[in-house]
Amino acid sequence: MSPKRTSGILLHPTSLPGPFGIGDLGKHAYHFVDWLHDAKQQLWQVLPLGPTGYGDSPYQCFSAFAGNPLLLDLEDLVKRGYLTPDDLAVPIFSRERVDFGPVITWKMSVLERAFQRFQKNDASASFQAFVTEQQWWLADYGLFMALKGEHGGHPWPEWEPALRDRAAGALAAAREQLKGRIQFHYFLQWLFFEQWLTLKSYANRKRIRIIGDIPIYVAMDSADAWSQRESFYFDEQGHPTVIAGVPPDYFSPTGQLWGNPLYNWERMAADGYAWWIERFRANLHLYDLVRLDHFRGFYNYWEVPGDAETAINGRWVDGPREHFFDTVISALGELPLIAEDLGEPDPGVYELRDHYQFPGMKVLQFAWGSDGADPFLPQNYDKNCIVYTGTHDNDTTQGWYRTAPEKERDYLRRYLRVDGTDIAWDLIRLAMMSCANMAVVPLQDCMNLGSEARMNTPAVASGNWTWRFLPHQLSDSIKAGLVEMAELYGRAYVASAERPTSAHAV
Instruction: Write the CB contacts of 452 (distance below 8 Å, at least 6 apart in sequence).
Output: 399, 467
Query: What's the rounded Cα separation, in Å, for the pair 254 and 416?
Result: 34
Strand pairing category for 300-305 and 315-318 = antiparallel
Give catalytic status of residue 221 as yes or no: no
Choice among 340, 341, 395, 445 that is catalytic: 340
Instruction: Write the CB contacts of 146 (distance below 8 Å, at least 6 apart in sequence).
Output: 174, 178, 181, 182, 184, 185
* DSSP one-letter string for 61-96: BS-SS---GGG--HHHHHHTTSS-GGGG------SS
Choice among 56, 224, 393, 445 that is catalytic: 393
Give catalytic status of residue 393 as yes or no: yes
* DSSP one-letter string for 441-495: EEHHHHTT--GGG----TT--SS-S-B---GGGS-HHHHHHHHHHHHHTT-PPPT
Could you say which DSSP state residue 253 is in?
A: T
Element (H, E) at 318: strand 315-318
Choice among 34, 56, 293, 426 that is catalytic: 293
**Residue type at 1?**
M
Count Cα neighbours of 276 within 13 Å in the Cβ-side half-sphere: 27
Residues in the chain: 506
Q: Pick from 332, 331, 327, 325: which is nearest to 358 by CA?
A: 325
CB 311, CB 255: distance < 8 Å? yes
Q: Could you tell me how far CA 75 lies from the centroid of its own chain?
A: 24
Catalytic site positions:
293, 340, 393
